[in-house]
Amino acid sequence: MKTSRQKKGKSERRMELKRIKKLITAALLATFVLSATACGMIEKTPEAIAKSAVAKVNGVKITRGELDANPSTIQLIATIESYYGEDYQSNEDAMSYLKTQKTSILQQMITEELVLQKAKELNIGQDEATVQKEIDAKYEEIKSGYATEDEFATALSSSGFDTDSFKAYLKDQIIIEKVTTEISKDAAVTDQEVQDYYDANPYSYTESPNTIHTAHILLATEDEAKAVKARLDAGEDFAAVAKEKSTDTSNSENGGDLGTVNYVDSGFDETFMAAAIALKAGEISQPVQTTFGYHIIKCIEKTEYPVKAFDTVKAEIKQTLLDDAKSEAITNKITEWTDAANIKTYEDNIM
């Protein structure tokens, strides 16, 4: 039979063991916290930042250092410095723009890494001797565009390159081009497609660019636009009504004058341009709805030229459509590869 002292001693030992376990747990926790803090301090060193992952493509890491050394990033920072000054890092707008653009550059790097991986998988551009000849030829071609060796070296340096890194860059670009050529080789365009495009885009093939000079009155609602049109139909002066009623304050003071633009690549809304082109000189349109509101358009003057004969532009159109077909094939294939890939990005490490 155990005595009360023996029972008490055993109880005290159990309590002591619990205290020891708590001390050990606390010590381990403290060690973990210190380790994590130390790791955080290491990650803040320039060397650790440069090695940190900004993305992984099928397990292959793209580092912050590689992103920062990308020629596009170097040129971006030079542009930001020229606009905001060397202390741009203290400017919130500059840093926001920098992050947005670096994110875009990173996406391009991810795509390039994925294509290079596919090049190995598909055995495209893997003949080292052949690729090396192409690298050397391209290097000499670019170099020949500079007057002196020093001028070429300065150009490389300002872009963040030395000879070796530039040749490595050329190698990647050559292999990527081989891959894109392979995946777009079946793109084709029929003669009927060329004819259809010509018929649908006559203004793109005039002997000289067609131009049109317009003015407009912009209203918020269709009812307001109809009321303004009624006033114009009654004989009121277009410029005076534009100054009074147009919500487009950028040109209302000068009678809604929009100046002269080409029919093609005018920079104006497509619906607006289609309605404007349909007008005769001096004619005023019915209300035309766009995403900006309702326009009353006046054609002040227009100059049109004959459309070139189909046979004279057929080859040009066919090449344009073929380029578009190849671009679409490349985009579709890369999208397919991207969807199937294991891609991770680490946005917190970009800046």
Residue 42 CB contacts under 8 Å (≥ 6 apart), including other chains: 48
For 252-290, what is each residue's pLDDT tens digit?
999 999 999 999 999 999 999 999 999 999 999 999 999
Identify whether 242 is part of a domain: yes
User: For residue 32, what pLDDT is reported?
Assistant: 39
Identify whether 203 is part of a domain: no
Distances (CA, A) of 117 to 36, 180, 215: 34, 13, 54
- Note whether 233 and 127 are same-domain residues: no
Residue pair 187/324 in contact (Cβ under 8 Å)? The answer is no
Answer with the one of 185, 200, 229 that is the final residue of a domain: 185
Q: Is 2 helix (H, G, I), strand (E, B) or coil?
A: coil
- Note whether 164 and 246 are same-domain residues: no
For 302-337, what is each residue's pLDDT tens digit?
999 999 999 999 999 999 999 999 999 999 999 999
For 63-73, what is each residue's pLDDT tens digit?
999 999 999 99
Residue pair 236/264 in contact (Cβ under 8 Å)? The answer is no
- Note whether 141 and 230 are same-domain residues: no
- 13's enclosing H/E stretch is helix 4-43
pLDDT band at 45 (very low <50, low <70, confident <90, very high): confident
Residue 25 CB contacts under 8 Å (≥ 6 apart), including other chains: none
User: For residue 39, what pLDDT is reported?
Assistant: 45
Compute the average pLDDT of residues 92-111: 95
Residue type, 180: T
Find the CATH number of the domain harbouring 152. 1.10.4030
User: For residue 160, what pLDDT is reported?
Assistant: 85
How far is residue 183's CA from residue 134's CA, in Å, rounded to a whole number?
A: 20
Identify whether 145 is part of a domain: yes
- Note whether 296 and 216 are same-domain residues: yes
Identify whether 19 is part of a domain: yes
Identify whether 127 is part of a domain: yes
Partners of residue 297 on adjacent β-strands: 216
Average pLDDT, the chain: 89
Does 87 have pLDDT greater than 80? yes
pLDDT band at 15 (very low <50, low <70, confident <90, very high): low
For 173-217, what is each residue's pLDDT tens digit?
999 999 999 999 999 999 999 999 999 999 999 999 999 999 999
- Note whether 112 and 170 are same-domain residues: yes
- Note whether 103 and 164 are same-domain residues: yes
User: For residue 24, what pLDDT is reported?
Assistant: 41
Q: How many domains does the chain have?
A: 3
pLDDT band at 9 (very low <50, low <70, confident <90, very high): low
State how far Cα 172 lies from the chain centre: 20
- Note whether 173 and 280 are same-domain residues: no
pTM score above 0.85: no
CB-CB neighbours of 160 under 10 Å? 19
Residue pair 323/184 in contact (Cβ under 8 Å)? The answer is no
Compute the average pLDDT of residues 28-56: 63
Identify whether 195 is part of a domain: no
- Note whether 89 and 177 are same-domain residues: yes
For 150-170, what is each residue's pLDDT tens digit?
999 999 988 889 999 999 999
Does 3 have pLDDT greater than 90? no
User: For residue 11, what pLDDT is reported?
Assistant: 53
Report the residue count for the chain: 351
For 220-254, what is each residue's pLDDT tens digit?
999 999 999 999 999 999 999 999 999 999 999 99
- Note whether 72 and 26 are same-domain residues: no
Identify whether 330 is part of a domain: no
Identify whether 201 is part of a domain: no
State how far Cα 163 lies from the chain centre: 28
Answer with the one of 185, 201, 219 that is the final residue of a domain: 185
DSSP code of 342?
A: -
User: For residue 298, what pLDDT is reported?
Assistant: 98
User: For residue 159, what pLDDT is reported?
Assistant: 86
Boundaries of domain holding 24: 12-44
Phi and psi based region of residue 348 (left: phi greater than 0; alpha: psi -120 to 50; beta: remaining): alpha
User: For residue 46, what pLDDT is reported?
Assistant: 86
- pLDDT > 90: percent of the chain: 83
Strands of the 60-63 sheet, one edge to the other:
60-63, 53-57, 343-345
- Note whether 65 and 179 are same-domain residues: yes
Compute the average pLDDT of residues 96-113: 96
Find the CATH number of the domain harbouring 295. 3.10.50.40
Structure-token pair, residue 87 = 């202390």
Question: What values do phi and psi take at 210, rounded to 5?
Answer: -70, 145
- Note whether 181 and 250 are same-domain residues: no
Residue pair 226/287 in contact (Cβ under 8 Å)? The answer is yes
User: For residue 5, what pLDDT is reported?
Assistant: 43
- Note whether 17 and 74 are same-domain residues: no
